[in-house]
Structure 1
Amino acid sequence: MSREQHQQKSAERGPVMVGIVTVSDTRTEADDLNGQFLKRELANAGHRLALYQIIKDEPKQVGAALDEALAVGVQVLLFNGGTGISQRDTTYDALAAKLEKTLPGFGELFRMLSWEQVGAAAILSRAVAGTYKGMAVFSTPGSTKAVVLAWEKLIAPELSHIAWELVR
């Protein structure tokens, strides 16, 4: 099948069940611009929000969020935050240890596109994606520009296709 046929077939399956997890020690739902943006974009695209959480950057909370997402039927889980290199940034490490299949192209393309926005600072990003127990997981930096970039350029155009690939 061609790429177009794949996308058409996947769109026929209907809305994708999506989860959003904002990783932050300080954000609340009122000031979580990333969560607000992603919720709005999901609704506009006709997908369904199955889970929304704000968690601390703690490996146990990251693992619990993965399991909660599975329990409520999330097909694609979007993490934002915790991907840097500071001592508090542990989300990448917690997720990388659990991913069963990785999508190296996501991190590579994200950093390439980030280069255009932030220059060499793009090397500090540990954006990652892969699968966990039949669910696609994406993890991006917590800056709003990074979330918008990842959503608009990489995730949104392939969201239905990704969900379809997981079950075919």
Structure 2
Amino acid sequence: PAEIESMLEVAETLGAQIVIFNGGTGISKRDSTYDTLAERLEKTLPGFGEIFRMLSWKEIGAAAMLSRAIAGTYNGMILIAVPGSPNAVELAWEKLIEPELAHLAWEVGR
């Protein structure tokens, strides 16, 4: 959680519009990214996690339920957290993040 807080401070200082976190979205004791971000989000984008799990289900089946991918707004930024596996990162980027990147940046900047 302290590392994530430091990253958020740096992102704010740099004027970032979108911050993507990789890993820490599972259910093990060491997975804290979801919990740390979830308590800070001002507005959530539930569809991000829902669609991510739906797309994951097509590839990995029922194990998709273990993902806690999340997205939302915080201090004028879009925060996105995806699982750490290379396949999950590729899926999230290609199917969800990259196609909406410009739109997300525009919306958060309005």
TM over 0.5: yes
RCO greater where, 1 or 2, for CA within 8 Å and sep 6 or more? Answer: 2
Are 1:149 and 2:91 an aligned pair?
Answer: yes
Instruction: Determine the C-alpha separation between the residues in 1 that align with 2:70 and 2:24.
Output: 11
How high is the TM-score relative to the length of structure 1?
A: 0.64
1:9-88 correspondence runs (5 A): 59-88=1-30
Aligned match for 1:159, one of 83, 101, 107: 101
- 1:130–1:136 CA contact under 8 A, matched in 2: yes
Q: Does the aligned pair in 2 maintain the 1:63–1:95 contact within 8 Å? A: no
Q: CA RMSD in A?
A: 0.6
TM-score, structure 2 as length reference? 0.98
**CA distance, structure 1, for counterparts of residue 54 and residue 14 of structure 2:** 34
1 CA distance for matches of 2:36 and 2:47? 20
Q: Secondary structure at the match of 2:28?
A: coil
CA contact (8 A) 2:57 2:64 kept: yes
**What does the per-residue CA deviation read over 1:110-143, in whole Å, with 9 as the maximum and x for residues that have no partner?**
0000001110000000000000100001000000
Task: Give the superposition deviation at 1:158.
Answer: 0.6
Q: Does 1:139 align with 2:96?
A: no
1:121 aligns with 2:63: yes
Which of residues 4, 20, 42 is equivalent to 1:100? 42
How many residue pairs get aligned? The number is: 110
1:67 positional shift: 1.3
Structure 2 spans left out of the alignment, 5+ residues: none
Question: What are the Cα deviations for residues 137-165 of structure 1, in whole angstroms up to 9, with x where unaligned?
Answer: 10000000000000000010010011001
Supply the AA of the counterpart residue of 1:97: E
Q: Equivalent pairs: percent with the same residue?
A: 64
CA contact (8 A) 2:17 2:109 kept: no
Q: Would you say the 8 A contact 1:82–1:92 is kept in 2?
A: yes
Paired with 1:69 and 1:117, the residues of 2 have a C-alpha distance of 33
Tell me, yes or no, if the aligned pair for 1:84 and 1:141 is still in contact at 8 Å: yes
